[in-house]
Amino acid sequence: MPVGTAGTVKAVTQDVLEELGAEIILGNTYHLYLRPGHEAIRRMGGLHKFISWPRAMLTDSGGFQVFSLSALRKVTDEGVEFRSHLDGSSHFFTPEHSIDIQIALGADICMAFDECTEYPAERSRAEESLRLTMAWARRSLDHFRAHQHEVPWFNEFGGKSQSLFGIVQGGMYRDLRRESAERLVGMDFDGYAIGGLSVGEPPEMTQEIIAEVLPLLPADKPRYVMGVGYPDQIERYARMGVDMMDCVLPTRAARHGLLFTSEGRMNIKGARYAEDQNPPDTACNCPVCRRYSRAYLRHLMQAHEALSGTLNSIHNLAYYLGVMERVRKSLQPESGVSGVS
């Protein structure tokens, strides 16, 4: 899932996202709550209409950004008091509030409010954090069930509603992760995410936790690993059985000149590309590789041109979506490759 933090996958138009075959994009509840505000978006019919995106969307719970971006005031069992990174204003998020906001935004998939356990974390800290996340998951689900009919498009789609996913936490402690997964599955969410990964731990540990948790989550519901990863990682996780992932990497790296290609990573700022008329990735058929050269993309970066971020992002998104498409095809029974059988 390309990440559209503030209601836009940075520097890329919705037209192009559709052309690239993006079926679902992510929006960040924290950002949209602060600006333009969830009530404004609700009044305009929800996020899909507001940003003109008819395909699927997912909103996170806001928790991750509260912990990573804002000036934190206080975490209690009730919720989190924080100051906006934009203007320093004071806000209070509870699980109920996060769900209310996400219902107002009206994405197809909402996420339970959780605390993302930092890395490294002592066992006692991970236990306490997990206790909080499980209590908040319960409250998120109860509040969602009581209010899900309030989604702006409820009547428009014949009483259809959103889905709510629970989030497995537990730090890097396998038994805590198992406990978290089992308790969430007992609550019966519409899908399950593994959160608190890619927070600084070594990649082998990320994979270990995914391998530990995945078999405990029902395979007939979506299984989502949050905030990962590099192309080789998302391919590996997908082959392990992960259905959904999101990551800012393709677009953020693009803005810094890092391209993902079939021959590995390419820093397009490099002087070696100054007169290189090959497409960024000779094996790629994306709108950027069909039309532009490495030399041109390098020039755009050197000249600090806005088009640089746009073209680099389009290629990286195409590359990521291409990785997932190949994995999907190889996992289909008729392909003869038995990734899941």
> Where does this chain bind its own copies (CB under 8 A)?
6-8, 10-15, 31, 35-36, 40, 43-44, 49-52, 274-275, 277, 287, 291-293, 295-296, 299-300, 302-303, 305-307, 309-311
- Give min distance, CB of 225 to its own copies, in A: 27
- Give min distance, CB of 110 to its own copies, in A: 21
Residue among 55, 199, 67, 210 at smallest CA distance from 120 = 199
Give the side-chain half-sphere CA count within 13 A for 216: 22
**CA 167, 255, 317 angle in degrees (round to 5)?**
60
In the bound state with its own copies, the residue whose beta carbon lies nearer, of 259 and 323, is: 259
- Give min distance, CB of 10 to its own copies, in A: 6
In the bound state with its own copies, the residue whose beta carbon lies nearer, of 30 and 144, is: 30
Phi/psi at 262 (nearest 5 deg)? -65, -15
- Give min distance, CB of 314 to its own copies, in A: 8
In the bound state with its own copies, the residue whose beta carbon lies nearer, of 49 and 147, is: 49
Catalytic residue positions?
Answer: 60, 246
- Give min distance, CB of 90 to its own copies, in A: 20
| Contacts (Cβ under 8 Å, ≥6 apart) of 236 | 207
Residue 65 and residue 114 in contact, taking contact as beta carbons nearer than 8 Å: no
**Residue with tokens 């950027």, as numbered in its chain:** 288
- Give min distance, CB of 58 to its own copies, in A: 19
Q: What is the dihedral of CA 167, 126, 208, 234, to 10 degrees?
A: 40
| Contacts (Cβ under 8 Å, ≥6 apart) of 111 | 58, 59, 60, 61, 102, 164, 165, 167, 193
In the bound state with its own copies, the residue whose beta carbon lies nearer, of 75 and 258, is: 258
Three-state SS for 150? helix
In the bound state with its own copies, the residue whose beta carbon lies nearer, of 199 and 311, is: 311
- Give min distance, CB of 277 to its own copies, in A: 6
**Residue with tokens 């079939």, as numbered in its chain:** 262
Q: How far apart are CA 102 and CA 140, in angstroms?
A: 11
Please state, in angstroms and as integers, the Cα–Cα distance from residue 244 to each residue in 56, 122, 162, 317, following that order: 13, 29, 17, 15
Q: Would you put residue 91 in left (φ > 0), alpha (ψ -120 to 50) or beta?
A: beta
Q: How far apart are CA 98 and CA 102, in angstroms?
A: 6
Q: How far apart are CA 90 and CA 73, in angstroms?
A: 9
| Contacts (Cβ under 8 Å, ≥6 apart) of 113 | 61, 62, 63, 79, 93, 94, 95, 98, 99, 136, 137, 139, 140
